[in-house]
Structure 1
């Protein structure tokens, strides 16, 4: 194993700060693709472990991987800068760290060590405004700070992630050959990385990717439970059903369905005593990610829904379910106090095979509709933010980079979306269902199926907030006359908020021009 902090090393191409699961995976990926990498971590054990992995990995040349516990020595391990500005080759340092103050600390430490023209790529999840703050700070020193989402988890970090860099065009042009070499590839060989836009746009797109991911995760856990507990399918049967969806139809190539059917078949190994029906029954129903502050993207996505005023109820409902899920003991005590019915079997569980097969086709359509709806909701948020921040993000670009190496990969949906989005420029469409009738019609086809599936959840007291929110989303945006006129009446009554007259509403979100002094009216 190579020495750590070897001061004789002077030829690394890429420096990686953070040697955990993501940073370690990227170190091995980059070196496997021929890049000479310097990996840094303040914990010597983490660097030693990564160096050992490089030595044992048959796909990696261990001589391309050098370890450091000193940031200064990492920076000095790059080739010495040329005195001729024209020949100067920028250093590239990639950060793979948890969001927040730790990144600020590293920025304060590394900026004085770098030189004008060097590039720092923050490859962690980060709140987009923090990224823009760091970009401004680095710009003062002539250093390019790139906020880049890295999708797909630690396995994609090792084998090829989807990446969303937000930066200047100059930084992108220099990074492009490296990123395209490291990125996940479509079957046609297209790299799943593109320039998203300036500023915090790259981290923003990754944030909403994760918001969509949370909705999809909730939809699938809800439907798995409905299939198992309400409709009586074994986990093996559900696994086979999911595999059929993954192989063919509108959910073909959906990553989460793909790992879902494989996970449901896992029954032994790993030192865990599993139930006969699979490992899932042995796992506590307690999701702490986001609630434990280890991952901010779900919370930030929910925040953006509120502050950008974009309807994305499935994403919001998924986040709420995580919050409720996260404290099992508290939830159990609340259930003791409420003492309401627990989920029960559905009458449909007793259907004959032919009828049940027909019902499962309906479930397939409903799940497709809910997943499609979550995509639409997330993409509407990206469009609104892009317009607000003047990032000029193109939705076609988002779909292109999500075709491989990311958690929301869904091949059939991407193939459906892409030619439709390619017709629009970066500032359009503000509202997908208004601007692209083909997508509205596709979502409408799933309405009856979503209604049927959610009816089963209602009748059996099953927990299905994301499925319910997906249905209510369609109902609400389809309703020509919502019940909110009474809300307007009461707002005007107590707060002089004004209202529009029926049939005379002006376009947009402008406040109405009419007011009634209810308290002065006889009998009121």
Structure 2
């Protein structure tokens, strides 16, 4: 292995900026697949630690990993053009979003040449990506906004990736990205060009919004099973494992790590345990609220600004916010002094009826998770149309089949053939355009209602489960209660309304108005 900042290195194929858990994982992954890597970080300790890991990893040839604390020296470590056209340098950024990326961009613009490619593999707001693409483009440098999913473990073993770039840049990067990506059991790489501009980061952002909903649905369900229905962690682990192995939640990543996590013991390893580590973890989620991660906040912002209904995603974000300050929440609870969650009457069911209830709960969880997919994909469709990105929903499902947090094998197998019937950016509303999907979702309604009824009766916290139920109730309702809201809006604001049975297609303002204040007795 070369020393750090070795001036004699001249054969780097890929440069990685950032040697943290994600950047380090990608360095080892790329080198394991035969790429010669230059890894840069301004902290020498981080670079040295990564080089030591490469030396200790039996799957990695340490001679393929070169460390740098000088960005300029890493750039100069790429091969020089002997004759003819120089191959583009490829650099991958693995950094927190925001100002730090702008700093690296400015440094790179002074060091790189026309045609070089920079891949931003962090989570970034899509408009920031497009701003940087324009700035880099002034020097002829290609800036690719690429979502990298699956966390640090997938970064090491093969992530799902969603690049947003030009078609020409994709053709050059495709062989590299396909070599590094997670693969389906059939060998298909989970990376495809999403579209131009900020589309790649946008899809990853909404992927994370869907992920947040799924996380909330599962933590709410696990709490009901444990606290309201009296199941031990061991029993819940077995239940989740059965869901993961067979049925509509087969191959769901979060269900899979859920049953393994519930079996984790303090002594290390995975084993059955009545009292697992989960009971020792504080009930506060700070991610997003501490601004270390923005995708949940941005997804919620998009729900409002794109005017797309995605209540389960929004509710999951609100639960995080409320959970994040435990001491403040305790003070509020003291002031409210209301009842805390209690045991459900179903806790005393005999085994046969409890087994039947578990099947109902499985269906309910499936429905809520499927609903979060629908809501997130509706956001992507609307944004694709607004920005003219031409995103294919089938492509989204394909890259989410392995290496990502929202992997759910049975759901992907159900959705993919439905989406392959449509072109990019179609349909506008999944439940409207795909009857088979609406029918499948409808089958889960009674089960979702049953699970949320248990939550209501026992004061269990279940915002995402409730939002999922209310979503299906609302989109199913032929006559909503919002006519009274229209009356009051017109009364105080002259906002107009449509007459019953004469509504026009779309979101246009109604044509009718009543001067309520001029009426006798009003």
TM over 0.5: same fold?
yes
2:377 aligned residue (376, 379, 385): 379
- 1:319 paired residue number: 317
Secondary structure of the residue that 2:110 maps to in structure 1?
Answer: helix
CA contact (8 A) 1:75 1:114 kept: yes
CA contact (8 A) 2:233 2:273 kept: no
- 1:494 paired residue number: 492
CA contact (8 A) 1:275 1:282 kept: no
Deviation at 1:277, TM superposition (A): 1.1
Cα distance between partner residues in 2 of 1:83 and 1:514: 74
Cα distance between partner residues in 2 of 1:304 and 1:83: 49
Q: Does 1:264 align with 2:251?
A: no
Cα distance between partner residues in 1 of 2:422 and 2:86: 39
**Mapping for residues 320-335 of structure 1, pairs under 5 Å:** 320-335=318-333
- 1:62 paired residue number: 62
Deviation at 1:82, TM superposition (A): 5.0
Cα distance between partner residues in 2 of 1:245 and 1:406: 19
- 1:50 paired residue number: 50
Secondary structure of the residue that 2:338 maps to in structure 1?
Answer: coil
Cα distance between partner residues in 2 of 1:429 and 1:276: 47
- 1:33 paired residue number: 33
- 2:252 paired residue number: 254
Q: Does 1:10 align with 2:32?
A: no
CA contact (8 A) 1:267 1:276 kept: no
> For this pair of structures, how many residues does the alignment match?
520
CA contact (8 A) 2:232 2:274 kept: no
CA contact (8 A) 2:263 2:273 kept: no
Cα distance between partner residues in 2 of 1:492 and 1:64: 70
Deviation at 1:270, TM superposition (A): 5.9
Deviation at 1:83, TM superposition (A): 5.5
CA contact (8 A) 2:117 2:144 kept: yes
Cα distance between partner residues in 2 of 1:493 and 1:105: 53
Q: Does 1:347 align with 2:345?
A: yes
1:453 aligned residue (451, 454, 457): 451
**Mapping for residues 144-159 of structure 1, pairs under 5 Å:** 144-159=142-157
Once the two structures are superposed, residues 377-428 of structure 1 have per-residue CA deviations (whole angstroms, 9 ceiling, x without a partner) of: 0000000000000000000000000000000000000000000000000021
Where does structure 2 lack aligned partners over 5 or more consecutive residues?
Answer: none
Deviation at 1:269, TM superposition (A): 2.9
Q: Does 1:79 align with 2:79?
A: yes
* TM-score normalised by L of structure 2: 0.99
- 1:400 paired residue number: 398
* TM-score normalised by L of structure 1: 0.98
**Mapping for residues 145-184 of structure 1, pairs under 5 Å:** 145-184=143-182
1:427 aligned residue (425, 428, 431): 425
Cα distance between partner residues in 2 of 1:483 and 1:80: 69
Once the two structures are superposed, residues 334-369 of structure 1 have per-residue CA deviations (whole angstroms, 9 ceiling, x without a partner) of: 000000000000000000000000000000000000
Once the two structures are superposed, residues 252-283 of structure 1 have per-residue CA deviations (whole angstroms, 9 ceiling, x without a partner) of: 00000000000000122369xx9951100000
Secondary structure of the residue that 1:113 maps to in structure 2?
Answer: coil
Deviation at 1:173, TM superposition (A): 0.4
Once the two structures are superposed, residues 299-357 of structure 1 have per-residue CA deviations (whole angstroms, 9 ceiling, x without a partner) of: 00000000000000000000000000000000000000000000000000000000000
Deviation at 1:287, TM superposition (A): 0.3
**Mapping for residues 116-515 of structure 1, pairs under 5 Å:** 116-269=114-267, 277-515=275-513
> 4+ residue runs of structure 1 moved beyond 2 angstroms?
81-84
CA contact (8 A) 2:233 2:274 kept: no
Cα distance between partner residues in 1 of 2:45 and 2:500: 69
Where does structure 1 lack aligned partners over 5 or more consecutive residues?
Answer: none
CA contact (8 A) 1:275 1:281 kept: no
CA contact (8 A) 2:264 2:273 kept: no
